[in-house]
Amino acid sequence: MADTGIFATTAEVQYKSGLNANSTANAETYINNFMTQAESRINAESGYNWSDVYSTLNVDVKGILKEAASNLAAIYVINYDVDAWNSSTVANKLNILYTAYQDCIKLLREKDKAGIFIREA
């Protein structure tokens, strides 16, 4: 099976989900599913369909989308089996990933700043 996500790859999600991630959830089949969900959520939360114009975007904009999607998909992988880590480690991992995801969404949502950045990047 091959990566089917637009914004990020299986390997990029696996890097972020970490060493003890459940092998079922951390496999390409599950991650492809998680990526579809993440990409749809990014489009909905940012108010713009990045998937439809992805190939035309600047590498910097693609990087923000990659970060957001891989962070959110890694959260889904970790949540599949939170018992793989102790509770403080899980909480820390999820907080870091979700905060970074929210930061990306803020950038993608800010119409004035993001619009200028996207056009001029």
Per-residue pLDDT tens digits of the chain, which is 121 residues long: 688 899 999 999 999 999 899 999 999 999 999 999 999 999 999 999 999 999 999 898 899 999 999 999 999 999 999 998 999 999 999 999 999 999 999 989 876 555 656 665 5
**Contacts for 113 with CB less than 8 Å, ≥ 6 apart:** 107
Q: Exposed, middle or buried by CB within 10 Å (0-12, 13-18, 19+), for 33?
A: middle
Domains of the chain by residue range: 22-120
Residues in the chain: 121
Model pLDDT for residues 48-77, shown as the tens digit of each residue: 999 999 999 989 889 999 999 999 999 999
Task: Judge contact between 7 and 66, C-beta under 8 A.
Answer: yes
Q: State how far the Cα of 49 lies from the Cα of 99, in Å rounded to an integer.
A: 22
Whole-model pTM: value is 0.90
Per the prediction, the chain carries an average pLDDT of 91
**23 SS3 class:** coil
